[in-house]
Amino acid sequence: MSKEEHKQSPTAKIIAKDCQYCQNCRKDNIPAQPNEVMLSDFLRKWPLFFEVPFDSNMNRTKNRPLVRGQISPLLAVSFAVSCAVPGLALLTLGVNPLTGTLGAFNIVLYTCCYTLLKRISIVNTWVGAVVGAIPPIMGWTAATGSLDAGALVLGGILYSWQFPHFNALSWGLREDYSRGGYCMMSVTHPAMCRRVALRHCFALIGLSSVAPIFNVTTWTFPIISLPINLYISYLGFRFYRDADRSSSRKLFFCSLWHLPLLLLLMLTCKKSLYKNNKKETVN
């Protein structure tokens, strides 16, 4: 793998670090992102096997291939396992053991906790948010080989973003979730659903503000990200106040462009790990 290809790695861009053919990329410098994709394929396919009877009752999921019988359960499970095993092996042996461990933990958390909790408790939403926050942390550990404060800031942003995103989405699907028997905040605790979404909109402002404190970005980032963070917070307040489909849809669609734009600004304002290490070496 050439230095130019390595610099263009999507994982390196997402974590906003100058990996630059770094020493932490082991052996043949296998990029982490394709292996993370394999794990995400497993996480998408495995729960569908267990949720077929319930998904058939929901308009949102009744046309899934497993529900309609277009794919056999054996084929679905085989494909999921064939993604998980080599994905974990490549992350552990080709990247570093820390990244592989995080991947294995995420699989267990998703399949054994989140999937089961969806029909038991609204806690599933918080567990699912942790599942969604771990992949960017894996990108960080893949490039740096360490789990430091910067990784937690990046994971925290993904964690908080998921609440306005999913709570707004689930608000318009309350009838569907109720028919499927899923225990979601929007169904059982509608006021909490709106309140939590608003709270985490505000949390995005706070997390963006602490990024430069932990040397993830420059101080320009909190300033230039403030308008989009204030806007999603405004829509979160509208959703909290109005409690209707219109406000939930606006918040949901805002979340679709808010996250990639926020990460792009984060990348633009990143601090160079390579330069910082070079200064420390000189000193």
pTM: 0.77
On whether the CB atoms of residues 128 and 161 are closer than 8 A, the answer is no
Per-residue pLDDT tens for 135-180? Answer: 999 999 999 998 999 999 999 999 999 999 999 999 999 988 888 8
Claim to verify: residue 157 and residue 265 sit in the same structural domain: yes
Q: Distance between CA 217 and CA 17 in Å, rounded?
A: 10
DSSP 270: B
**Domain end position, chosen among 79, 106, 121:** 121
Claim to verify: residue 7 and residue 109 sit in the same structural domain: yes
Claim to verify: residue 237 and residue 112 sit in the same structural domain: no
Q: Distance between CA 201 and CA 208 in Å, rounded?
A: 11
Give the tokens for residue 119.
């029909």
Give the tokens for residue 67.
């529900």
Query: What's the CA dihedral at 60, 62, 66, 69 to 10 degrees?
Result: -160
CA separation, residue 27 to residues 21, 89, 91 (Å): 12, 14, 12
Per-residue pLDDT tens for 204-224? Answer: 999 999 999 999 999 999 999
Q: Distance between CA 4 and CA 7 in Å, rounded?
A: 5
Claim to verify: residue 155 and residue 220 sit in the same structural domain: yes
CA separation, residue 125 to residues 108, 115, 159, 236 (Å): 16, 10, 11, 17
Domain that holds residue 203: 148-283
